[in-house]
Chains A and B, each alone.
Chain A
Amino acid sequence: MGGGNGHLPTSARVDSSLIRLIRRSGQVVPWNSSKIEVAIRKAFLSLRLDSEPAVQVSDAVTRRAVETGQAFINIEDVQDFVQEELMKHGFFKVAESYILYRARRRVERDSNDNQHEVRQDSMIVVQKKDGSTFFWDGLDLKKRIAFATIGLDLCLSVEQIEESLRRSIFSEITEDDLRKTIILNAKTLIERDADFAKFAARILLTYLYEEVLNWDVAQHSIEEIRTFHAKEFKNYIKRGVEIKRLDKKLLKLDFNKLARAIDPSADLDFDYLGIQTLYDRYLVVDKTGETPRRLETPQFFWMRVSMGIFAHEENPEEQIVALYNLYKSRRFCSSTPTLFNSGTPHSQLSSCYLYKVDDTIESIMYRGIAENAFLSKWAGGLGGSWTSVRGTGSHIAGTNGESQGVIPFLKMHNDQLCAVNQGGKRKGSGCAYLETWHCDILEFLELRKNTGDDRRRTHDMNTANWIPDLFMKRMESRENWTLFRSNEVPDLHDLYGKAFEEKYVAYEARVEKGEIWGHSIPAIDLWKSMLKLLFETGHPWITFKDTCNIRSPQDHVGVIHSSNLCTEITLNTGADETAVCNLGSVVLDSHLTPEGEIDYNKLRDTIRIAIRALDNVIDVNFYPTEAAKTSNSRHRPIGLGVMGLQNSLFVKDVSFTSEEAVEFNDEFMEAICYYAYEASSDLANERGTYSSYRGSKWDRGILPQDTVQMLEEERGEKVDVPKTSKMDWSTVRKKIAKHGMRNSNVIAIAPTATISNIMGSSPCIEPTYKNIFVKSNLSGDFMVLNRFLVNDLKKEGLWNREMSDQLKYFDGELGPIDGVPKHIKEKYLTAFDVSFEYVLSAAARRQKWIDQSQSVNLFLGTPDLKSLSHMYRAAWRKGLKTTYYLRTLGASNIEKATVELKKAKPLADAPSDEPSAKKEFTDAEKKACSIEAMLNGEECEACQ
């Protein structure tokens, strides 16, 4: 009975707190080293051996488990590790005994399994596609349920679940309908308990595995899913290349290395919304056969995206796996265009394009219409400045005629967006910006109205005001404002701050003298019109020109003439440059400790890989136009954003409407920016700076947080945001001074509705819209339930069927429900009950650190002109660069007008000439304004 070598290395304890063990029963339990140690002890003692070495062997097993990098480990794998470690340590006899013991147990388990009888009444006749039939015994359903319930806390027993999933299954049902019915039944359970979202996701996953991997739930075990992934990975890439859906450069990579890293256990964390979104739209499909077939599982998908981004690097596999690990563990997500196209032959990975149209017919046609069509075709969102285009009544020297102004061209742009949809996948989307002094501004404000001359309306295009500080000041001091024809004030659009103010006043003097045309109106009247139309039509949005420009790191090489489609990008544009931005978002709630503190080391690790990936996108990207290519290779801007603020606050047990939440915004944004700027500087050390770096604010030692003071100086007013910081920035400053920056711009917070659905997180920096809502998509309707709320209610013993029904009845609002404790009601306030002061203060704290901007939606349940004005003036004073949609309950709930509204708020104070209740909205408008549409990602998907 030989023992081992007796000389075991002292093993350092490893952190196994993140690993979870999947038992044979499907139950998931936290990793427990002492249980493994106990099992090993038994083996030693059975052979009459000293059990002391069990400690080291079990430590070695734990270390092996941690090194796999998997969140979930199957018990069988752990037992393999035990065997191998026993042998490695020289305990061959113990290992032998252990192996035989396992085999014996397996035999016993199998014999027990065979005793399960199939109930005769569960046999159903199912029709195959070819018309033949078979008896469906439901064993596969049992196995699907076993997989789907792994580690979940569900309020129903397995038998009850099976009964629910068998509902509406009838004899002679087709195979396809059987699948659909089971998935549908699983979806209907979602409203019963928070964990059913994961349950339903996994039911769908089993079908997806069968479709992609040829794994069969009835024949194969859950443990084999990993083996099937490893086996099928190479075939998937080859097939993808063969049918021209994947780039052939992927074939050069080391498949074995990559296949080893693929971890399907990460799929267990998907909820239904995430997996359904991937299934419907993101996974590559082979359409060459009779029926379309998905080529990708979620983990193949993440790996393909990572491969596309890193394939061109030297020894790319390590980087690919690093990015893949971020994706699979929900720490970072690239924007939708990158997820769609990375690793495919059409690698258009950029989200947004920004352009400027000049005051010539050539520029209007080439830049404004034709190039935008090319950009739109390749699935990019457009945002651009039309301010330079001369206004109505301006003289045209070439023809000696009068211009009809900018409006007809905007109508053309609108129609072009409809004509050229994005890669045939969705409608083109764009946003036109106009500066406040443009003489067509009043007509511009009305572009989205449903009344009036339809030839001067743009129902499909977004619009935004580009407002100089001088206008805000004149409005506040009730002074007049002068409108000009841009061809007569050609430099005004390029100026900002004090220089703009001086020139603007000088032009007003020329108007006085009759040298140029000008029209003076009370600034407050124009402001009121802006707000009134914004409330009525949802447009134009409010953005601030001077804040964008004064705080821009690239003020030495150009001017920011507009923001983009989602108002988070602020980049220079010009005659030869169309700005491009590649986006990705850190998942904030995945970077908190269980106590809700920021895990700084983890955050830094994530951001370093994310920044490298975003920088790579610039080089592997396909550019539809020369101007886009020129701009992007010169300045290399990227936009790292963040999602999951609301979820993080739930974890922290902090209400959105609290000073603590505002402070947290300051804290996490400082950390993200710190690590992002540092990572870009480190990349500059490795790869060189971007070519226009010299003279930039970075080069001048001015970081984004330093520019708040510059803004105050130019504006002549204090910016209402504390300038405090918590981190020691000297290291980053030194790095930038020494190595420069790889990217002209680094941070931008984009809306993330779709990708936050995939990640199971909350959209970017938004408060919760509703605690329960119905999600509609191609596969039907289903409930989305706030899982944090359910867990908190469970802790209070308040979660039951009645509570679920009440939540539904009150549209997910806790306010009217009796018996819910006050602190829970406060924690789960929804967007319209979160005071805008908190939303703006939080946004201001973030903006302090950000070098670009953020998509900040503003919510006002019952808007009146005074509140609107107060809100937008506060946004300006707090130093926000841009704002995005104005969400109001009137417009948001419009789609529900035909059904009984339980919580309709009055619109008595609406600043409208026409009673809003009678107002008719176009379908597109309803969608643009509705929360439901927002949740469905029906607005700017480019940024998501």
Chain B
Amino acid sequence: MRNTIFEEDRLLTKAAETPRENKPRFDWAEDLGENRFEIPKVRITDGAGDRDFHIAEVAEVIGEALTDLMISREEKEIYTPQNRELVVESSRLVASRLIERLEQEEEGGAPRLSFDDLHKLIEKALVENDAYDVAKSLVFSRSNHGGGQWTFTN
């Protein structure tokens, strides 16, 4: 089993290191449906300053981590209903955690969140959905993109 982890990690690293353009891409945010553009008033802080945050981005990030995991396991079917559901569920969980935070914040400006914080929220949501392996894939993806420098892209 120990060796399995090692092997799994190696394959996962390889998948994470593969450039995006060489991997299959799916519209993971599609299933958010009506909620697709439901945006809690959150701003993301990155090196270049603050910007608005879309919940669809979370779905993309989780979807990519899931894609890496599936590639590492040599699964042929990636965009399955089950996986799509996991992405949507986890994204919604992140959204509701953000809304909770928003309520906890003092009234006034929208709360600011760093990429690191957001990653941790996503990781937590995946763990809550029992998707430890996807959470790990996310960590690989994050470390491969230089930790805090990792950017959300659509």
Contact = CB atoms under 8 A, between A and B. Distances in A.
B132 A48 contact: yes
Given A100-B2, A101-B2, A104-B2, A45 B136 contact: yes
A45 B143 contact: no
A97 B4 CA distance: 11
Contacts of B139: 38, 41-42, 45, 51
A104 B139 CA distance: 21
B24 interface: no
B97 to A, nearest CB: 13
Interface in A29-67: 32, 34-35, 38-39, 41-42, 45-46, 48-52
Nearest to B132: A48
Nearest to A104: B6
B5 A32 contact: no
Given A34-B147, A42-B9, A46-B9, A104 B3 contact: yes
A57 to B, nearest CB: 14
A105 interface: yes
Interface in B111-138: 116, 120, 123-124, 127, 132-133, 135-136
A97 B2 contact: yes
B123 A41 contact: yes
Contact of A105 (B6, B116, B124, B142): B6
Given A45-B136, A48-B132, A51-B135, A38 B142 contact: yes
A32 B147 contact: yes
Residue among A32, A35, A51, A101 with the highest chain B CB neighbour number at 10 A: A51
A97 B8 CA distance: 14
Given A51-B127, A100-B2, A35 B133 contact: no
A101 B5 contact: yes
A225 to B, nearest CB: 30
Contact of B133 (A39, A41, A45, A104): A45
B140 interface: yes
Contacts of B127: 45, 50-51
Contacts of A34: 116, 147-148
Interface string B45-89: 000000000000000000000000000000000000000000000
A101 B8 CA distance: 12
Contact of A45 (B116, B132, B148): B132
Contact of A35 (B3, B123, B124, B143): B143
Contacts of B143: 35, 38-39
B116 to A, nearest CB: 7
Nearest to A32: B147
Contacts of B116: 34
Looking at chain A's contact residues, the main secondary structure is: helix
A79 to B, nearest CB: 15
B136 A46 contact: yes
Looking at chain B's contact residues, the main secondary structure is: helix
Contacts of A101: 2, 5-6
Contacts of B5: 46, 97, 101
B2 A42 contact: no
Contacts of B9: 42, 46
B113 to A, nearest CB: 16
Interface string B5-26: 1101100000000000000000
A35 B140 CA distance: 11
A630 B133 CA distance: 78
Interface string A886-905: 00000000000000000000
A38 B9 CA distance: 13
Contacts of B140: 42
A314 B148 CA distance: 49
A254 B142 CA distance: 47
Residue among A32, A45, A101 with the highest chain B CB neighbour number at 10 A: A45
Given A46-B5, A97-B2, A97-B5, A51 B147 contact: no
A439 to B, nearest CB: 77
A923 B64 CA distance: 77
A710 B2 CA distance: 81
Nearest to A41: B139
A38 B97 CA distance: 22
B147 A35 contact: yes
Contacts of A48: 132
B2 A45 contact: no
Given A35-B143, A42-B136, A42-B139, A51 B123 contact: yes
Contacts of A49: 132
A41 B139 CA distance: 7
Contacts of B2: 97, 100-101, 104
A41 B135 CA distance: 9
B72 to A, nearest CB: 13
A32 B123 CA distance: 20
A308 to B, nearest CB: 47
Contact of A52 (B6, B124, B132, B136): B124
A46 B4 CA distance: 10
Contacts of B123: 41, 51
Contacts of B3: 104
B119 to A, nearest CB: 10
Nearest to A34: B147
Contacts of B8: 46
B100 to A, nearest CB: 17
Nearest to A51: B123
Nearest to B123: A51
A38 B3 CA distance: 20
Given A97-B2, A101-B2, A105-B6, A45 B147 contact: no
B71 to A, nearest CB: 18
A97 B5 CA distance: 9
B120 to A, nearest CB: 8
A45 B137 CA distance: 9
A881 to B, nearest CB: 53
9 contacts: A39-B143, A42-B9, A45-B127, A45-B132, A45-B135, A50-B127, A51-B135, A51-B139, A104-B6
Interface of B: 2-3, 5-6, 8-9, 116, 120, 123-124, 127, 132-133, 135-136, 139-140, 142-143, 147-148
Given A48-B132, A101-B2, A104-B2, 18 more contacts: A32-B147, A34-B148, A35-B147, A41-B136, A42-B9, A42-B140, A45-B135, A45-B136, A46-B9, A46-B132, A49-B132, A50-B127, A51-B127, A51-B139, A97-B2, A101-B5, A104-B6, A105-B6
Ordered nearest first, which 4 A-B pairs have the shortest CB separation?
A: A45-B136, A34-B147, A48-B132, A38-B143
